[in-house]
Amino acid sequence: MLLRKEHFDIPDGVIYLDGNSLGPLPKGVIKRVGDVVTREWGCELIRAWNTADWISLPLRVGDRIGRLIGAPEGSIATGDTLSIKVYQALAAALKMSPGRRVILSDNGNFPTDLYMAQGLIGTIDKGYELHTLAPEDLVEAITEDVAVVMLTQVDYRSGRMHDMNAITKAAHAAGAVMIWDLAHSAGAVAVNMTGSNAEFAVGCTYKYLNGGPGAPAFIYVRPDLIENVEPALAGWMGHDTPFAMEVGYRPAMSTERLRVGTPPIVQLSMLDAALDVWEGVDMTSLRAVSIDLSELFITEVERRCPQMVLASPRDPQLRGSQVSFAFENGYAAMQALIDRGVIGDFRAPDIMRFGFTPLYLDRGDVVTAAETIAEVIGNELWADPRYQTRFRVT
Ligand SMILES: *Cc1c(COP(=O)(O)O)cnc(C)c1O
């Protein structure tokens, strides 16, 4: 059984369809935070780096994420934010493609991925260019001048999913390095990093992995490459012997070279506890349930609300674990829904997003959510003036 509702602390009366943006609180996290703060930090003080093995926590957590994305032990470093991990992967990938000057991405990629590329291009100042194309035009554009193909597997707005293996193959055929952003994939769809043969992957852990707001990100490097990956952010925690306090930087001979500074121990511990919920979860089975829930949702919403237009691919194989509908008054409608306990979110200009997470959602929840949506849309409850003011975070 995949359904593990009892492991989560979700408020009564809430149907949470936003686990793709911020996963809910796993109950085990509450106890773990208390323990880390009072016993490990409070009593052990500095000794906890050894006695509680804080120093290896980033690697241990990385290995647990690895199991969910088909990556071998030791191939994942955790820490920092996803934006930083994008920067690290991209900087390293560019070094691996000397002479080539194009970074290729799609125009639906998450803004920070594109912004980090733009910033890096400015810093290097050697004539690199970022090209962004429509997703369907990508493969043809992977030519011999492309240094790196950098894509997010599942589009944050529409849920459209790239074919990871096919695109990686096309990148390699043209001699380009492949970076996958798994922000909306890890814990959502079955990913096999080893099978894909891609050089790099990055992702965050506060979405489907339920690590909590600001939870550390991760970066995967294909194991055969790690000793030649040049860390752009040469922090002391990525040094081969951090406590030798050498003047010169010498990177660790493992994925640890992609660590930067002191790890966020409380957040990492929260993530570690959140990953307990994933013990024994088979991603292929989880994906099957996620498709079942998403298909049911589309059917139930379309049947009741002709005003809402499906903005995700209709073929579930081309979709991640979210369903988006375009609706002109989407922002106000989402506020009205949230007021009634159905929590999704909104992305400009008119996208209402709903995430499907089989660990704590079942078919009954999906039908109830669709009924609430029908009530809000059918009766124009969104028109209430109190739903019109936009908050800073939508
Ligand atoms: C959520 C998300 C991010 C967020 O980056 P942070 O540095 O964690 O704020 C970046 N990229 C993608 C594709 C995302 O979905």
Q: How confident is the model at residue 392 (pLDDT cuts 50, 70, 90)?
A: confident
Query: Active-site positions?
Result: 110, 181, 206-207, 353
Q: Is residue 1 scored above 90 in pLDDT?
A: no
Q: Atom of ligand 1 at shortest distance to CA of 83?
A: 7
Q: Is residue 46 part of a domain?
A: no
Task: Look up the domain containing 13 and give its range.
Answer: 5-26+282-387
Boundary of a domain, candidates 232, 259, 278:
278
Question: What is the 260 CA–ligand 1 centroid distance (Å)?
Answer: 18
Q: Provide, for the chain, the percentages of residues in helix, strand and coil under a 3-state DSSP scheme, each rounded to the nearest 5.
A: 45, 15, 40
Euclidean distance between CA atoms 201 and 14, whole angstroms: 33
Question: In terms of domains, do 123 and 176 share one?
Answer: yes
Among residues 174, 123, 182, the alpha carbon closest in space to that of 149 is found at: 174
Give me the count of residues in the chain.
Answer: 394
Q: Atom of ligand 1 at shortest distance to CA of 183?
A: 15
Question: In terms of domains, do 377 and 331 share one?
Answer: yes
Q: Is residue 305 scored above 90 in pLDDT?
A: yes
Question: In terms of domains, do 195 and 320 share one?
Answer: no
Judge contact between 202 and 82, C-beta under 8 A: yes
DSSP H or E run through 291: helix 283-304
CATH number, domain containing residue 233: 3.40.640.10
Question: In terms of domains, do 116 and 191 share one?
Answer: yes
Type of residue at 249: Y
- Return the residue whose CA atom lies nearest to atom 4 of ligand 1: 82
Given this model, what pLDDT does residue 391 score?
87
Question: In terms of domains, do 299 and 160 share one?
Answer: no
Q: Note the pLDDT tens digit of each residue in 160-216.
A: 999 999 999 999 999 999 999 999 999 999 999 999 999 999 999 999 999 999 999
**Half-sphere exposure of residue 165, counting CA atoms within 13 Å on the CB side?**
6
Judge contact between 309 and 350, C-beta under 8 A: no
Q: How confident is the model at residue 110 (pLDDT cuts 50, 70, 90)?
A: very high
Given this model, what pLDDT does residue 393 score?
86
Q: What is the mean pLDDT of the chain?
A: 97
Q: How confident is the model at residue 314 (pLDDT cuts 50, 70, 90)?
A: very high
Boundary of a domain, candidates 253, 278, 303:
278
Q: Is residue 45 part of a domain?
A: no
Tell me the best of 107, 113, 271, 393 to mutate to test the pocket of ligand 1, counting ligand atoms within 8 Å of each CB and taking the most: 113
Domain count along the chain: 2
The number of beta carbons lying within 10 Å of the beta carbon of residue 132 is 15
Residues having CB closer than 6 A to ligand 1 are 81-83, 110, 112-113, 152, 156, 181, 183-184, 204, 217
Tell me the best of 204, 207, 321 to mutate to test the pocket of ligand 1, counting ligand atoms within 8 Å of each CB and taking the most: 204
CATH number, domain containing residue 339: 3.90.1150.10
Sign of CA dihedral 162, 140, 315, 337: positive
Q: Atom of ligand 1 at shortest distance to CA of 21?
A: 1
Euclidean distance between CA atoms 51 and 54, whole angstroms: 8
Q: Is residue 38 part of a domain?
A: no
Q: Note the pLDDT tens digit of each residue in 51-91.
A: 999 999 999 999 999 999 999 999 999 999 999 999 999 99
Q: For residues 92 and 2, which has the higher predicted lDDT (pLDDT)? A: 92
Question: In terms of domains, do 235 and 371 share one?
Answer: no
Given this model, what pLDDT does residue 394 score?
79
